[in-house]
Structure 1
Amino acid sequence: MSTDLINKYDLRVPRYTSYPTAPHFSDQVNGQVYKTWLSELPPDTELSLYFHIPFCDEMCWFCGCYTKIVKRYDPVKEYLDALLAEIDLVADALPGRFTAKHLHWGGGSPTMLKGEDWLAIMTKLRERFDVADDAEIAVELDPRTATEDYVRELELAGVNRASIGVQSYEPKVQEAINRIQPYETTKQVIEWLRAHNITRINMDLMYGLPYQDTDEIERMIDMTVELQPNRIALFGYAHVPWMKSHQKLIKEETLPDAAERWQQFTLAVERLKERGYVQIGFDHFAHPDDPMANAVETGELHRNFQGYTTDTAPAMLAFGASAIGYLPQGYVQNELPLKAYRQAIYSGILPAAKGIALSADDKLRRDIIERIMCDLTVDLGEACAAHGIDVATLDKDVEKLAPLSADGICTVDGHRITVSEDGRPFIRLVASAFDAYLESGQGRHSKAV
């Protein structure tokens, strides 16, 4: 792709892990609204559960997550007590006992929890929910602080998937982002995980970091493939120092420009495909025998706050400060900072601070955007018919695709929108044509590539 086109489409758009996206949530959705939504769930609704652990022992300068740096365990224990209490509040609001098929811990760093904490959490969850025998129980793991004893505790808690943050193996890059993590450390933790029956391994890589170049990207891909992860996520670093002040510690002159980012991305994609991985959407890759690769073929791939997923649950209940969940009625985000989160819980109030109730138009656009993001194609006529909405209401949105179509990024054939293979990296731009909220939130989003 030409440099002119790369610069032309070097725009900030959402990652569409939800629609509408979080900048458009409001305080009209609060704990009482959330309680009502929970009470309205049909008892046979399959659930996903997400738990946010907002602590790290050191700040990685590239990080865009909500987290706090702590050097003592006491704040973590106080938080865990509140989290367990929140589980009770949510379960009490449900109209029965529900089954959970997917459980995911993110952060921050869930590795800040102690081994006995995992036992306490899983005991509480099994008291209040039916955790399916074949449930996926996934944990984001920091190799720098994990030990074999810790991995053994995860096995005892039933964890069967681990997501390993890597970013880069290059010492100069690691130093520039304040995350020193030798390759040998990552390799050792993965060996421990497999030895303790946690065999589903995800790895997170990044491009666009300070001092990265194509040679380093090629080495990073090859070293990662040697570790044989089931899934790989390839994220472009989002430099938003006006939102995350610690990113000001990264010198902007060390960051690659748009053309260099493009070269890094395309090299990584081609290298992963050459090594046998299936590209999922625009930034995930899966081993051919992984369920995610199969979901692409069957049209059952989905997208949620963890990115691409095989999770089909219509509701994800989110626990912890700042955590975002979804129900058929809309999205809910918990309180932050931690003090407000704890105060709500110990007042017996669900700690929801904001969210958004979905209109009929929101649900239509959400489904269209998800199919574009997952399948690279959507039939607008079929989507509108499923929602009982006239397809003509999308005419102005389709018109927005004219420049992208002219540049070969997508095609418009009647009501069928298809992203070209060359246009795959710009899939978020195609999806954004159907985002009715986009203009009022652009400054908060990452670049398209």
Structure 2
Amino acid sequence: MRPDLAVHYGQERLPRYTSYPTAPHFSPAVGPVTYADWLRAIPTNAKASLYLHVPFCRRMCWYCGCNTMVAKQDEPIAVYESALRCEIDLVSRQIGRRLQVGHIHFGGGTPTIMTPEAFLDVVGLLRHVFFVLPSAEIAIEIDPRTLTPAMINALALGGVNRASLGVQSFDPVVQQAINRVQTLAQTAAATAGLRQAGITGINFDLIYGLPHQTVASCLDTVRRSVELRPDRFSVFGYAHVPSFKKHQRKIADAWLPDSAQRYDQACAIANALKDAGYIQIGLDHFALPTDAMAVAFREGRLHRNFQGYTTDESELLIGFGASAIGQLPQGYVQNATQVRAYQEMIASGRLATAKGYALTDDDRLRADIIERIMCDYGVDLQATCARHGVEPDAVLNSAPRLQALLSDGVVELEGATLAVAEGSRFLVRSVAAAFDAHLDASRQLHSRAV
């Protein structure tokens, strides 16, 4: 990795490209009526993925950028679960048949804040209205601090086979600064309990760029984490946007590492994980060589959606819950973000779609290019453009930012084959952004490139 490029490009605010165009470009022009039309037009042989958002936590972590809120009592969660089940029924009735489902992901917030009985009720309804394939991956995000043995049993009974555990950092100074005190023992107990229940797909989430974080503390967290040998790691750079997430104002700017320090932390984590036997995948993932994600990466079958890198090949993602985003052949839809607004729409018998985006042919081309860059560190523009009936020169001529990347050695271009240079892969978002026709309108809303 080249530190000079980290300094030059690291301050740019860029999307993580879990979609294209990205969510800031969604508008109310796409609402419940449009979404209903798109659902009814789903092809008969389609295979879907499902995302369910549970926007509640017991305590707020100051670094959090997710759509979540603190629920100290169980009643608001129970009311929300009822709305979630009603939405599942509403959507399924629009589709009119049992779609095949190959992936289900519970995100949050803390999805395991639900009672075990409520979780199994939701899973049971999903299996009733959809045909969940026996081979389906069912994943859930977990806060190890609040995971109970009863919930572990419910997850196993519900067919969960992959769990993502939030770790972030084991440094007690960092933990105090982000309001998330979590011991190694808590994390180890959750990991062991899940494995004993047969949930063997384990992911750990780490973050660099946190307040008071250092290279030494990052390396200590990696050392402790790899002792538990999760299959995958997700390693994210902290996005400090206090104007957008008010609770982040509890983190003083002076506590945060600068771009060079963030770069050093990212490099240290990446190198330590690779030394421990993990394969680096795209922007922010690491996996053991035998893991399905590592295999998909080697074979060029990796994809990227709103949950990040995935082995899921479906182009149909149906989202449930407040703020949940769905993807259909025609475009994107997003539910009302506020829980009350979401629940009121569902209670009235309407779909909760608040905004969305109808894709153009140019959007589909650029989405294809950007996904391959994010997943493969490069793209065959000749083949990709041919699939969309466009000449590569037209795309290259519409990417003025690309010239600087070529001049700086970040990317290499041979004919119509573009590749991110080996030492510049940490800037893959910057390369993808060169093909983003919408970037300037949303730049201030995104996290730093490094």
Supply the distance in 2 between the matched residues of 1:338 and 1:393 (Cα, whole angstroms): 44
Supply the distance in 2 between the matched residues of 1:374 and 1:352 (Cα, whole angstroms): 29
Aligned residue in 1 for 2:284: 283
Q: Identity percentage over the alignment? A: 49
Is it true that 1:241 corresponds to 2:246 in the alignment?
Answer: no
Aligned residue in 2 for 1:381: 382
Q: Give the SS at the match of 2:76.
A: helix
Supply the distance in 1 between the matched residues of 2:286 and 2:398 (Cα, whole angstroms): 30
Write the letter of the residue equivalent to 1:427: V
Supply the distance in 1 between the matched residues of 2:172 and 2:319 (Cα, whole angstroms): 36
Instruction: Quote how far apart the aligned CAs of 1:400 are.
Output: 2.0
Aligned residue in 1 for 2:7: 7
TM-score, scaled relative to structure 1: 0.98
Write the letter of the residue equivalent to 2:445: R
Residues 106-163 of structure 1, C-alpha deviations (whole Å, 9 max, x = no match): 0011021000011111111111011111111101011111112221111111111110
Contact 1:43–1:97 under 8 Å retained in 2: no
Q: Give the SS at the match of 1:422.
A: helix
Contact 1:41–1:95 under 8 Å retained in 2: no
Alpha-carbon spacing, 1:204–1:222, altered in 2? closer, same or farther (3 Å): same
Aligned residue in 2 for 1:21: 22
Contact 2:2–2:424 under 8 Å retained in 1: no
Contact 2:175–2:182 under 8 Å retained in 1: yes
Residues 235-261 of structure 1, C-alpha deviations (whole Å, 9 max, x = no match): 000111011011010111111111111
Q: Give the SS at the match of 2:165.
A: strand
Aligned residue in 2 for 1:124: 125
Aligned residue in 1 for 2:424: 423
1:60-139 paired onto structure 2 within 5 Å: 60-139=61-140
Contact 2:2–2:423 under 8 Å retained in 1: no
1:361-440 paired onto structure 2 within 5 Å: 361-440=362-441
Contact 2:107–2:140 under 8 Å retained in 1: yes
TM-score, scaled relative to structure 2: 0.98
Q: Which runs of 5+ in 2 are unaligned?
A: none
Write the letter of the residue equivalent to 1:379: D
Aligned residue in 1 for 2:322: 321
Write the letter of the residue equivalent to 1:361: D
Aligned residue in 2 for 1:174: 175
Q: Give the SS at the match of 2:426.
A: helix
Aligned residue in 1 for 2:151: 150
Contact 2:54–2:111 under 8 Å retained in 1: yes
Supply the distance in 1 between the matched residues of 2:51 and 2:291 (Cα, whole angstroms): 22
Alpha-carbon spacing, 1:4–1:289, altered in 2? closer, same or farther (3 Å): closer
Supply the distance in 2 between the matched residues of 1:443 and 1:398 (Cα, whole angstroms): 20
Supply the distance in 1 between the matched residues of 2:217 and 2:409 (Cα, whole angstroms): 30
Q: Give the SS at the match of 2:13.
A: coil
Instruction: Quote how far apart the aligned CAs of 1:399 are.
Output: 3.8
Residues 298-347 of structure 1, C-alpha deviations (whole Å, 9 max, x = no match): 11000001110000111000000000110111000001211211111111
Q: Give the SS at the match of 2:447.
A: coil
Instruction: Quote how far apart the aligned CAs of 1:6 are.
Output: 2.1
Supply the distance in 1 between the matched residues of 2:398 and 2:200 (Cα, whole angstroms): 44
Is it true that 1:187 corresponds to 2:185 in the alignment?
Answer: no
Pick which of 332-341 and 1-10 moved more.
1-10
Supply the distance in 1 between the matched residues of 2:272 and 2:163 (Cα, whole angstroms): 23
Q: Give the SS at the match of 1:361.
A: helix
Write the letter of the residue equivalent to 2:238: Y
Q: Which runs of 5+ in 1 are unaligned?
A: none
Contact 1:40–1:95 under 8 Å retained in 2: no
Is it true that 1:207 corresponds to 2:208 in the alignment?
Answer: yes
Contact 2:48–2:103 under 8 Å retained in 1: yes
Q: Give the SS at the match of 1:423.
A: helix
Aligned residue in 2 for 1:32: 33
Supply the distance in 1 between the matched residues of 2:315 and 2:405 (Cα, whole angstroms): 32
Instruction: Quote how far apart the aligned CAs of 1:5 are.
Output: 2.9
Instruction: Quote how far apart the aligned CAs of 1:3 are.
Output: 4.9
Supply the distance in 2 between the matched residues of 1:43 and 1:123 (Cα, whole angstroms): 23
Q: Count residues in correspondence.
A: 449
RMSD, aligned CA: 1.0
Aligned residue in 1 for 2:334: 333
Residues 173-200 of structure 1, C-alpha deviations (whole Å, 9 max, x = no match): 0000000101110001100000100110
Supply the distance in 1 between the matched residues of 2:232 and 2:398 (Cα, whole angstroms): 34
Supply the distance in 1 between the matched residues of 2:14 and 2:133 (Cα, whole angstroms): 37
Write the letter of the residue equivalent to 1:150: M
